[in-house]
Structure 1
Amino acid sequence: MKCNNLIKLLCLCLVVFFIGSTSTFALTLQERAKYARFLTGYTGELTPQEREKIAKALIESATGLTPQEKTKYAKFLTGSTSNFTPPEREKYSNIFIETALMIPPQEKANYANIPGVQNLKKVKPNGDFLYVVKLGTLAPEGVGWAALIKEIVNPGILKVTSGLIYLNWYYGGTMGDDQDILAKMRNQQLQGGGFSGQGMLMACPEMALMQLPFMFENYDEVEYVYSKLRPRISQWFEKHGYHLVLLAEQDFDQVYSTKFPIRTPDDFKNSRFLTWYGLLEERVLKSVGASPLPIRVPEVAASIRTGVCDAFISPSIWAVGTQMYTVMKYLNPMHIRYSPAGGVITMQTWNLLPEEAKVAIDYFVTSIEKDFRRQVRESNEKCLKAMYKYGMKEVKMTPAEIDLLKKRLMPVWDEFAEKGYYTKADLAEFKALLAEYRAKNKKK
């Protein structure tokens, strides 16, 4: 009798606890999604009261933390992580994913028959299943940011979706160049792609803003703009029918030449530049007196080796990956252009995925983007050093010559606004953000 009463009392206590306790199970998917977006830069969706309520639930659901860790996690949830070390940010981001976003493994069966994407479904011999999203990229497997996708992004997405979504990449141009991959996405042969700066611009013309000549002076400026405009960039892609999964980069590009070193602005006239990067690069080269020859990516190497062209603009990892470093003699490391890169999925496919999976994917990938770009830069720096060691000669312009080159290229900024790639208001906002950053960080 006493035992039965004890069991009843225990059950009553558990009911009271779960009814009275705020936890992530009491939060709606919409609330968790909004908080995930808040932590990645979407600051206008939640009121202070909503943030307080959701943060409280998130903290209470993070069981097993020490008091010090709970204090640190609470700080993380405010979005103020500037004083966190990279391992700390990763640790508390993972706690947020695991307690608030990850699809519980026991609920995976609920997604066995998602309408519209059964053609992507693959059933394993053990009866488990996943949805395979096919993507193409020019990037060679195991090199640069393609290696980071394989090491970080692919397993991360598989984990946060509890094995529901798998990205199957076709590397090294096996699906063609950026133009071909976009065409295959339109006819649904592929669901997405990993793109160079040119592919990003083809998918989303507004990305020309990031690629304007001498827009940025250093990485800190790039990251400042991304910190302010990452949500807007996603909206630009959605307007054109794509979901931006990963905002990566090629890095700052360099100028390579074989016959003539590019030491002054007038030296552009002496070299035969190839261009595979589209109308923006073509216009840039014409503005400095060059006569660029448009060439598709598969013909680039042959054009250089046979002497059809003898100069190009590219990131160092591309020059190494294509072995162009064995042919080129001179390298000018000026930051003539910053080139973004990224992974996108068609909105047609993205909209068919479960909301829980989309929220988890977006938060996870956005949370690792900055560190992803840092690692891309480290890879490119190693490539630069390797090319110098191989014997490539570095040539530089004087500050006065750089200023002259900038003067010749500045009209391109307004010209592409007039062409409709982006609005004059967007360009003005970019300029204002950079002026703001430079004023705050002006060298004393």
Structure 2
Amino acid sequence: MSTSRGRGLRGVLLAGAVLLACAPAAFGATLKIATVSPDGSVWMKLLRNAAREVEAQTEGRVDLKLYPGGVMGDDRAMMRKMRVGQLQGAIVTTGVFNRIFPDLHLYNLPMQFRSLAEVDHVRPRFDAELMEGLEEAGFVCAGFAEVGMAYAMATREARSLADARRLRVWTPQGDETAAKALKDFGITPVPLTIPDVLAGLQTGLIDTVAAPLVGAVALQWHGQLRYVLDLPFMYIYAPMVLAKRPFERLEPQDQAVVRRVLGAAVREADAGNRRDHDAVREVMQRQGLTFLQPSTAETREWQVRADEVSGAWAASGIVTPERYERFVGLLADYRAELAR
């Protein structure tokens, strides 16, 4: 009899545990969100405001706990921690989605965006589709925040592709797509984690970074650099993602609040980074960095190779050929309209 009662009690407890695990987080949930952005940055100010707003609008049922400055590691470390439940969200660059949803690299194709005006033409027509792809891959995407156009910044002067092939160029460690992009240009990449880049510049392990100007200043790399090749190489942006499973444990009304509030924060960061670009450029020039203008022939050489690389990526399936064709078609139509 006692054995039977014991089994019955264990069954009730097990059933209760299962119900609790599957039930919405009605009694409060903490979403731990990490970023490499430094504490005190615009991103962190926006996120702290968002955390307060989420707490207020959910009446304390949802708490956003923030981890700035890379304390949870680089982008790949943050994604690993999301997989095992140590984090529920992160702001990361697209390199970590190489094998999860590689079409996020559509915007990263080298030198396909030639201006921010072209970015503004394409993104309203593609963002929702790419965000939906992330949802299908198991992530809730609050939005995409522009980081900016990546420029080659170096301790040595380099304008031509031949010059660049003599440089020691940083690539994010583990980012296979970024490394492939450099190799496809005949450039040998030097992989380092983001926290190691500054020391790499100081010791001469690397002499070149390709990054948005805003990022180079925020991470204090610009103090080690002397030249900027004034040719936008690649568009960089950062998705803000939450793991779908813990997100879906929230009450439906709380899910809506988190989506709305974080979405607004991402849109504000997206616009703010754009405003910061010109100001950062002036700061770098005042601090003595020289912006190098490539010749027409040098620019053409870079562009021809970039177009070859981008087409090859689509042909090999790194990005979906159908999406690639629509993407380059939008750009071609926009350029034709401007030329009229």
Shorter-chain TM band: 0.7 to 0.9
**1:336 and 2:233 are equivalent in the alignment:** yes
User: Residue 135 of structure 1 aligns with which residue?
Assistant: 33
- CA separation of 1:164/1:230 partners in 2, compared to 1, >3 Å: closer, same or farther? farther
- CA separation of 1:351/1:305 partners in 2, compared to 1, >3 Å: closer, same or farther? same
1:148 to 40, 46, 57: 46
User: Residue 165 of structure 1 aligns with which residue?
Assistant: 62
Conserved? CA contact 2:159–2:293, under 8 Å = yes
Other structure's SS at 2:286 match? helix
When normalised by structure 1's length, the TM-score is 0.66
User: Residue 60 of structure 1 aligns with which residue?
Assistant: none
1:274 to 156, 166, 170: 170
Cα deviation, residue 162, structure 1: 4.5
Aligned residues: 321
Provide the rounded CA distance (Å) in 1 between the counterparts of 2:68 and 2:285: 28
Deviation track 1:332-374 (CA, whole Å, cap 9, x = no partner) reads 2321100110210011112212222223433454456544312
2:273 to 334, 353, 376: 376
Tell me the amino acid that sits aligned with residue 140 of structure 1.
P
Other structure's SS at 1:174 match? coil
Provide the rounded CA distance (Å) in 1 between the counterparts of 2:40 and 2:100: 25
- CA separation of 1:218/1:181 partners in 2, compared to 1, >3 Å: closer, same or farther? same
Provide the rounded CA distance (Å) in 1 between the counterparts of 2:326 and 2:203: 44
User: Residue 103 of structure 2 aligns with which residue?
Assistant: 206
Other structure's SS at 1:397 match? coil
When normalised by structure 2's length, the TM-score is 0.85
Other structure's SS at 2:90 match? strand
Provide the rounded CA distance (Å) in 2 between the counterparts of 1:116 and 1:433: 46
Provide the rounded CA distance (Å) in 2 between the counterparts of 1:317 and 1:118: 43
Tell me the amino acid that sits aligned with residue 40 of structure 2.
G
Cα deviation, residue 132, structure 1: 1.9
- CA separation of 1:218/1:166 partners in 2, compared to 1, >3 Å: closer, same or farther? farther
User: Residue 393 of structure 1 aligns with which residue?
Assistant: 290
2:220 to 313, 318, 323: 323
Cα deviation, residue 119, structure 1: 11
Cα RMSD (Å): 2.6
Cα deviation, residue 202, structure 1: 6.2
Deviation track 1:407-433 (CA, whole Å, cap 9, x = no partner) reads 112222233334433210010111122
Cα deviation, residue 115, structure 1: 4.5
**1:300 and 2:197 are equivalent in the alignment:** yes
**1:361 and 2:258 are equivalent in the alignment:** yes
Provide the rounded CA distance (Å) in 2 between the counterparts of 1:386 and 1:212: 28
User: Residue 158 of structure 2 aligns with which residue?
Assistant: 262
Deviation track 1:305-325 (CA, whole Å, cap 9, x = no partner) reads 111110110112222222211
- CA separation of 1:173/1:370 partners in 2, compared to 1, >3 Å: closer, same or farther? closer
Structure having the higher Rg? 1
Tell me the amino acid that sits aligned with residue 263 of structure 1.
R
Other structure's SS at 2:200 match? helix
User: Per chain length, whose mean CA-contact separation is higher, i.e. which structure has more relative contact order (CA < 8 Å, sep 6+)?
Assistant: 2
Conserved? CA contact 2:25–2:250, under 8 Å = no
User: What stretches of structure 2 of length at least 5 have no aligned partner?
Assistant: 1-18
User: Residue 16 of structure 1 aligns with which residue?
Assistant: none
Tell me the amino acid that sits aligned with residue 247 of structure 2.
W
Provide the rounded CA distance (Å) in 1 between the counterparts of 2:193 and 2:324: 29
Conserved? CA contact 1:133–1:166, under 8 Å = yes
Conserved? CA contact 1:160–1:361, under 8 Å = no
Deviation track 1:66-110 (CA, whole Å, cap 9, x = no partner) reads xxxxxxxxxxxxxxxxxxxxxxxxxxxxxxxxxxxxxxxxxxxxx
Tell me the amino acid that sits aligned with residue 266 of structure 1.
A
User: What stretches of structure 1 of length at least 5 have no aligned partner?
Assistant: 1-113, 122-128
Fraction of identical pairs, as percent: 24
Provide the rounded CA distance (Å) in 2 between the counterparts of 1:163 and 1:289: 54
Conserved? CA contact 1:249–1:340, under 8 Å = yes
Other structure's SS at 1:254 match? strand
Cα deviation, residue 173, structure 1: 0.8
Provide the rounded CA distance (Å) in 2 between the counterparts of 1:158 and 1:390: 42
1:185 to 78, 82, 91: 82
User: Residue 206 of structure 2 aligns with which residue?
Assistant: 309
1:106-121 paired onto structure 2 within 5 Å: 115-116=20-21
Provide the rounded CA distance (Å) in 2 between the counterparts of 1:203 and 1:140: 27
Provide the rounded CA distance (Å) in 1 between the counterparts of 2:53 and 2:99: 28
User: Residue 138 of structure 2 aligns with which residue?
Assistant: 241
